[in-house]
Structure 1
Amino acid sequence: MLRLRLSTTLLLAATCLLFRAGSSVAMSTERVVTCSPGSHNVHRLSCASGVISVQTALYGRADTETCSDGRPPQQLANTKCSQPGTVDVLRKRCDGMSVCELTTSVVRTSDPCPGTFKYLATNYTCFPAIHLVICEHSVGQLYCDEGQVIVVYGADYGRRDQTTCSYQRPASQTQNVYCLNPTSKVAESCNGKNRCIIKASNSVFGDPCVSTYKYLEVAYTCQCFSLNHHNFILSGSSDTMLCCRLNATLLLAATGLLMISGFSRAQPLIPLSTNTVITCDTADNVQRLSCESGVIVVQRALYGRLNRETCSEGRPHNQLDNTHCAQKGTVDVLKKICDGKKVCEINAQVVRTSDPCGGIYKYLETSYACFPAVRTEACESSFANMQCDEDRVIFVYGADYGRRDPTTCSYRRPAAQVKNVHCSRPTTKVAESCNGRSSCMIKASNSVFGDPCVGTYKYLEVAYTCHFPAIQPYH
């Protein structure tokens, strides 16, 4: 019998040592103060890890020292000045985001104390969270393990950058990056549920910027039920001691009994997170798979139709009737393109090589998990070196040869050699060469992988993990 070395986190989870029901351990606590007036002074909240959760916020004055430089005493005398509702404004705008920038003008809707020099002071904490992005016209699923419920930190519908959900979209549809619409609808729909499906669409959230292709960002966590109360706990203040019910995967992994078939290896199946995304097959709608931590491993994928409800809005009945429609090979295409990446954007065109059911309105549904992995890059003509401990072997999640950004492997290269960022070719050659070995070197070169973009300086990206080899059964 093989004894697996369990991480401290897994051991604690497996034994349920002193687990506090509903508590989310803050990763850091911060305070930001911005002096007012100055309509362009920026108030910036940020979390290096996790997401923002605003605790308190004050617009006004609570002491005579803060923001007092050069101010006469009469502008500092009133220390009981605060504008009601400030914390609600900050929470609506910032909760659930990793970075939140605003000016005092967003809270300065009235003057709570004329003649007093005011400031905006915010106390916030950074909490671990699951971060989900759903492109417009797609459906995403929030879900938790058995015995836990969803608590939404925050959600936004709109666009904050030009790259998210941009695959093959016209530039005019992604250039408005000041389209932000915080929404409480996700929390209202999903809080307290074990699973929740939400659609990123104007019909649900309104249209904050007409003609811009938008996306929904959600930050949420999974918290345990309180056995002493009939609702879930939103804060960590409860002293209720509860051992959450561990799901079967975690229990089996903790005892080292869970094995994966196929490649000869033993692997605890402990994904960091699991997600399902559904994208309606219209024009160039984008499907986005992403892992905040770890890398993507596609579990299942469907292009077709299995029910009459999904992507049915505005569709006649005859386009929904065939509920046994599935194109073969879809999961293989998705795995080839997305496995081993942190972010993968596609549309149905990549799998729409034929029509499995003529006249039926179809959709692309992908379920994937995020697994811990080692990532390595090797510039063209260099070697990628994969190394595991002596008692473990390499398992490659995915590899790509080409170029996906202008900065990687760009030192002193001519601009013409790094400008093509749409040159990326998934390859199985790394897995074929390295799987099952404790160490492996492979050269990033056209002679090994072919040349996906002549004239571009390329690099090899590999995502892999180290496993214990499987114990061969007696025959």
Structure 2
Amino acid sequence: MRHLRLSTTMLLAATCSLMTAVVSTEKAITCGSDGNVQRLSCDTGVISVQTALYGRADAVTCSEGRPPAELANTQCSLAGTVDVLKLRCDGKRECELNINVFTSNPCNGIYKYLETTYTCLPALHLDACEGSLAQLQCDLGQVIFVYGADYGRRDQTTCIYQRPPNQVQNIYCSSPTSKVADSCNGKSSCTIAVSNSVFGDPCVGTYKYLDLAYTCDYPGTNLGPAYIRQRRFSIQPNSLQVCLIKPAYLSHCAPQTTSSKTMLCFRLSITLLLAATCSLMTAGKLSEVSLENVVTCGSDGSVQRLSCDTGVISVQTALYGRANSVTCSEGRPPVQLANTLCSQAGTVDVLKKRCDGKRECEFNINILYTSDPCKRIYKYLESTYTCLPANHIVACEGSSVQLQCEQGKVIVLYGADYGRSDQTTCIYQRPLDQIQQTSCLSPTRKVFDSCNGKNSCNITASNSVFGDPCVGTYKYLAVAYTCSCGSKYHDFGCLLQQPK
């Protein structure tokens, strides 16, 4: 007999967390003018499109500056829109499409928009370059279910090492394929050759890759996106019967009853319960956020790069100058290392302004050359930062996005920027001259002012809201935020917070 001793509070929290772990729904709205681009993305998992409307369902959405006659028909929708979105986006981590793909006009004279709702399903993601083998593998007893697969090319960053530029320029040739699902679904492992002989050649002369997403589950379950969305937890061997008295303030975890206390009985896998409990424990004060440290020697305009695999950057400290005689000392004469009490004031503020709230941040060290804290001393930039858990949203110009928290929590903004900093975001079928300027992404407080402290908030990415940091460039809004109980409660305490 194994005994697991947990506090009632912790066990309630873990159980409730498992019950309420429903996949949330995201929404993107793109106004239908000038070939605007809609972007769907998942920080983790893959896209599963739920609904899509191209037309008009109300007189408010995308109505700014439009005459009433262009908003009059609110029962206008193009048939098959959801099928187009599902074909292009299901099973991908990121998906962009130009609104011009809808060539049919469901209502002449009406200003239309594309409104899409989608969820992010947990998945394993795999990219395999042309000429290689892609191996899908599940744990013992589980089988493969393929969400989606594409063969071709849709960016200039994947599978490009030492390839000629002419072989990676065509980024509009990626095509969905069912061959991976046909070969691998229901198997515990599967190997696919990534080649034109298997998938055909959607773009002759372009070096291609296979992009696929799949999940693993136990045979006999109703595998598929609907099953994944509906599942709360799996019943496995060695399970634990949990029977608890549910206080009234946890009534959101199960249907309401007339009594103030309800007996809750669940059969949970011990492994799963331990994992949930540990997850909740490590999300609180018991775990410390790790610190990353980056040092960049201050010569030849060197570039410092901060990045987070998950979450967003929060700069903790930054020193531009010299604090010891060892760092960045190679090949330097002693006289250039002598002053070890040299630091430029305000360095941390510069970095926080540029990097806080972003997943990646690059900048040339020359931005700190505006003053010299110690002449003739060879200086360096040393930064420490953490990666904070966050929701990250990108909205292409002309689109609206919704920042949303679960009931009882409010939005806390980490940062927001409007403009453009790369040639890979919000580019689908946009003219080259509209995406070449990559140094015009500017921080903005407007999202903070509009959304901080609210449970949900809608934001439109447009010049009329944020101004135009680079005229003629097609821009996007990048937002990072988290959901919190507010200053009165820790996040873990949200679950146990009793409404007043």
TM-score surpassing 0.5?
Answer: no
Q: TM-score, normalised by structure 1?
A: 0.44
Q: TM-score, normalised by structure 2?
A: 0.42
